[in-house]
Amino acid sequence: MRISHVQNNNYNNRTSRPSFGIWTRAVYKSSEKSLVEPIYRNDTMFFRDPVFWERFTNLLVQKFNEQSNVNVYCYGCSDGSEPYTFAMKVLAKGKDFAQKFLPVQARDIDSIAICRALDSEYELTNDEIFRIENVLDDKYELINDKLITTKNTQNHSLRKYFDYHEYKREYLSYGDKLNVKVKEPLKNSVQFSMGDIFEDYENINPENTVVLARNFWPYIDDISKRSKFFKDLYDHLKEGSLFVIGNFDTKEFPMHINSVKEEVQKAGFKETVVENVFEKR
């Protein structure tokens, strides 16, 4: 199987994201270009699955409270939205807590995505602005697995982590986007480089480690290769390390006999109290 670079079908702005809504990544079953349409559609964004990030961060607080250093890797990092989301979430817990997890080692096989991540310029949607403002400033409650705003926001977190021209929220209509650039304190919390998780896993520090590899496994249609990797990673990591997949990875797809979650568990990883977060015990 071969996966091409992301290609933007509607590109007219340098800050446009590698989103599978307007971008496509051609997935080929062999080295030949036998398939030109994407098999699946997927998106990348800040605070994707916001309920997950709150529960996951709380798990990290409990699990690594006594550790002085935790190694964090984010594979399939795309334009950097996910590792920056992680960094913002741990920074919101306090500098002393966050420093043990940072910098995040963020990697992707796509050189175009890594270049855009290094630019650290984004177009934030209304939903992303809402999540950054409310999730990071603790202005919400979790009710029936939904984020419910409890206070009026003053954009403290947005200003803290991003440079942007002032705007009035009520003037941002559906579909409008805010151009922002990541500020240095946040930018320094993530180190981007190219990397293929299948080839790179042996370079992962195995102790006190969190491996984020979310929302790309259905693109890997070689089930035997996928299952072997999960077992190799399990054998490589030390007890107590975490392996994290995403909601997209747990969807049922016709061409897959086994679910990704089942493969991860068969490799030896055990479920934690947070969905899609697994631990080597």
Residue-wise pLDDT tens digits, 199-255: 999 999 999 999 999 998 888 878 899 999 999 999 999 999 999 999 888 876 555
Cα 108 → chain centroid: 11
pLDDT at 44: 78
pLDDT at 15: 47
For residue 37, pLDDT over 80 is answered with no
- 259: confidence class by pLDDT, cuts 50, 70, 90: confident
**Vertex 193, ends 107 and 210: CA angle to 5°?**
40
Which tokens hold the place of 167? Answer: 């705007």
- 175: confidence class by pLDDT, cuts 50, 70, 90: low
Give me the residue label for tokens 């080295």: 31
Distances from the Cα of 139 to the Cα of 142, 153, 187, angstroms: 10, 7, 24
For residue 31, pLDDT over 60 is answered with no
For residue 271, pLDDT over 60 is answered with yes
For residue 42, pLDDT over 60 is answered with no
pLDDT at 129: 84
pLDDT at 101: 97
Distance of alpha carbon 281 from alpha carbon 279, whole angstroms = 6
For residue 23, pLDDT over 70 is answered with no
Domain that includes residue 205, residue range: 2-279
pLDDT at 125: 83
pLDDT at 143: 57
pLDDT in tens, 218-232: 888 788 999 999 999
Residue 189: Cβ-neighbour burial (10 angstroms; 0-12, 13-18, 19+): buried
The average pLDDT across 115-142 equals: 79
The average pLDDT across 181-193 equals: 95
Which tops the pLDDT comparison, 152 or 223? 223
CATH number at residue 171: 3.40.50.150
pLDDT at 19: 42
The pTM is what?
0.82
Domain count, the chain: 1
The average pLDDT across 143-158 equals: 60
Residue 68: Cβ-neighbour burial (10 angstroms; 0-12, 13-18, 19+): exposed
Give me the residue label for tokens 């290769």: 225
